[in-house]
Amino acid sequence: MHPAADFLQAKFPAEVVEASEYRGDTTVVVKPGRLVEILTALRDDEDLSFKYLSMIAAVDYHPASPRFAAVYNLYSHKNHDRLTLKAFCDSDGAPVLPSVVKVFATADFHEREAYDLMGIRFLGHPNLKRILLPDDFAGHPLRKEFPQRGY
């Protein structure tokens, strides 16, 4: 398994739900409760050095439950290595995850986009408001129940 997956399973055994590899890419699914600590550990570990958060993508797995997840793509310039971390929201009705802006400044606009288009609230975000759509826009257009032609 990938060294980062082994690191997380050793340091956060109760938080790692699953670790998998597909075509050389590693994905680790974690519980959302200690997401900030997990990302901080991956960033600050001298050997792993995942110092760059390249993107956060929000995913709607409707009709499955848990329905919403955020996918974090990390990169280590030191090791020329990638890691994908995924956290599912506890609630399908009001999806919430902790903000990681304090860990990675690049998370700012990514979290705002996920909030705007998918409706995931990021607790602790310094400026969580719409980024692409007007403030008075009703709904979140990337959710699966949103009509393709809008309301």
The DSSP-derived string for 106-125 is THHHHHHHHHHHH--EEET-
Confidence band for 112, pLDDT divided at 50, 70 and 90 = very high
Model confidence over 19-32: pLDDT tens digits? 999 999 999 999 99
Rounded to two decimals, the pTM is 0.94
Q: Give the chain's domain count.
A: 1
Distance of CA 59 to the CA centre of its chain: 9
Tokens of 83: 């890691």
Q: Domain limits at 85?
A: 3-93
Tokens of 54: 């390249």
Whether 7 is in a domain gets the answer: yes
Whether 33 is in a domain gets the answer: yes
Confidence band for 147, pLDDT divided at 50, 70 and 90 = confident
